[in-house]
Structure 1
Amino acid sequence: MELRFTRDGIEYNIRPATLADAEEVVALINICSQELYGKDELELDELLADWQLKGTDLKLDSIVVLADEKLIAFADLVDVVAPFVRYPLMARVHPLYRGQGFGWLINRWAQGRVEELIERAPAETRVFMISIVHEKNQAGRQLLEDLGGKLERLNWLMERELLGPLPEVWLPEGYRLRVAKTDEYRQIFTVKQQAFQDHWGFIPISEEQGFENFMQHFVQDPHYQPELFLVAESEEQIVAMLIATPASSYGDDYGWISVLGVLPAHRHKGIGKALLLRAFAELKLFGCERVGLWVDSDSLTGATRLYQQAGMQVVAQFNRYETTMRAGVDLRRLK
Structure 2
Amino acid sequence: MTQDALSARLGSVPAPQVPSHPDVATWRPATAADIDAIHTLMGAADPVDHPTWTTPREDIADLFDLAEMDPARDMLLAEDADGTLLAYGEVLLHPSREGGELTVYLSGTVHPAHRRRGIGARLLAWQHARGLERLAEGAAHLEDGGVSGEMKIYAEERNAGQRALAEAAGYQVERWFTSMVRDLADAPGIPTVPDGLEVVAYTHDRDLDALEARNDAFRDHWGSRPTEPQRWMQFVGGEFFRADLSRLVLDGGRIVAFCLASVNEDDWETLGASNSYIDLIGVVRSHRRRGLAPLVIANTLDAIRAAGLQKAVLDVDTASPTGANALYEGLGFAATERSIALVMHV
Q: Above 0.5 in TM-score?
A: yes
Deviations for 1:237-273, whole angstroms, at most 9, x for unmatched residues?
4321121113365238321111111123433333211
Structure 1: how far apart are the matches of 2:200 and 2:19? 57
Structure 1: how far apart are the matches of 2:255 and 2:18? 54
Structure 2: how far apart are the matches of 1:249 and 1:76? 24
Corresponding residue for residue 40 of structure 2? 27
Q: Among 63, 66, 74, which residue is 1:50 paired with?
A: 63
Matches within 5 A, 1:1-335: 7=22, 12-67=25-80, 68-78=82-92, 80-83=94-97, 85-117=102-134, 118-121=136-139, 122=142, 123-162=145-184, 164-174=185-195, 175-203=197-225, 205=226, 210-216=228-234, 218-247=235-264, 250-251=267-268, 253-324=274-345, 327=346
Deviations for 1:31-81, whole angstroms, at most 9, x for unmatched residues?
223113423430112211223222222111111111232111111124621
Structure 2: how far apart are the matches of 1:13 and 1:314? 41
Q: Shift of the alpha carbon at 1:305?
A: 1.3
Deviations for 1:114-167, whole angstroms, at most 9, x for unmatched residues?
2222231332422221111111222211111111101110011111122x1212
3-state secondary structure, aligned to 2:189: coil
Return 22-31 or 101-110, whichever deviates more: 22-31
Q: Report the identity percentage.
A: 22
Structure 1: how far apart are the matches of 2:169 and 2:266? 30
Equivalenced residue count is: 317
Is the CA contact (8 Å cut-off) linking 1:2 and 1:13 kept in structure 2?
Answer: no
Is the CA contact (8 Å cut-off) linking 2:19 and 2:123 kept in structure 1?
Answer: no
Is the CA contact (8 Å cut-off) linking 2:176 and 2:340 kept in structure 1?
Answer: yes
3-state secondary structure, aligned to 1:250: helix
3-state secondary structure, aligned to 2:222: coil
Structure 1: how far apart are the matches of 2:146 and 2:155? 29
Q: Shift of the alpha carbon at 1:310?
A: 1.2
Q: Which amino acid aligns with 1:231?
A: L
Q: Which amino acid aligns with 2:45?
A: C
3-state secondary structure, aligned to 2:268: coil
3-state secondary structure, aligned to 2:257: strand
Structure 1 residue runs of 5 or longer lacking an equivalent are: 328-335
Q: Shift of the alpha carbon at 1:290?
A: 1.9
Structure 2 residue runs of 5 or longer lacking an equivalent are: 1-15
Structure 2: how far apart are the matches of 1:14 and 1:269? 54
Structure 2: how far apart are the matches of 1:236 and 1:45? 32
Deviations for 1:186-231, whole angstroms, at most 9, x for unmatched residues?
222222222122222334x5xxx73333222x22322123323421
Task: Rate the CA distance shift 1:12–1:39 in 2: closer, same or farther, 3 A.
Answer: farther
Is the CA contact (8 Å cut-off) linking 1:64 and 1:74 kept in structure 2?
Answer: yes
Structure 1: how far apart are the matches of 2:156 and 2:203? 37
- Root mean square deviation, CA, Å: 2.5
Q: Which amino acid aligns with 1:29?
A: M
Structure 2: how far apart are the matches of 1:289 and 1:54? 38
Q: Which amino acid aligns with 1:87?
A: V
Return 253-262 or 231-240, whichever deviates more: 231-240
